[in-house]
Amino acid sequence: MSANLGKGETIVDALAEKPDARLRAWKPKTAAEPSERISELIDLADHAVLDLGRSRAAEQEVLDLLD
């Protein structure tokens, strides 16, 4: 993420800007799944369990090593 924040803009504002713009631009059916996943991530972070779950990328890396 770029550190070039506008006047009064916070890191959270900059972080939220891209997904917000995309979700608004996409058709509701297309935006539904990413919206759900973002909501799930926020819930996990709220309960401090984000680090307990495996990321899909890490899981795929292990599967690739096993192949």
Residue at 4 is within a domain: no
Residue at 32 is within a domain: yes
- Contact (Cβ atoms closer than 8 angstroms) between residue 23 and residue 36: no
For residue 12, what pLDDT band results from cuts at 50, 70 and 90?
confident
Residue at 41 is within a domain: yes
Task: Tally the domains of the chain.
Answer: 1
The 10s digit of each residue's pLDDT in 31-58 is 999 999 989 888 888 887 766 666 777 8
Question: What's the whole-number average pLDDT of the chain?
Answer: 82
What residues have CB less than 8 Å from 33, skipping those under 6 apart? none
Residue at 6 is within a domain: no
For residue 16, what pLDDT band results from cuts at 50, 70 and 90?
confident
For residue 1, what pLDDT band results from cuts at 50, 70 and 90?
very low
Q: Looking up tokens 């307990």, which residue turns up?
A: 52
Residue at 36 is within a domain: yes
Query: How far is Cα 48 from Cα 66, in angstroms, rounded to an integer?
Result: 30
Domain, as residue range, for 45 = 11-66
Residue at 60 is within a domain: yes
The answer to whether residue 4 scores a pLDDT higher than 70 is: no
Residue at 2 is within a domain: no
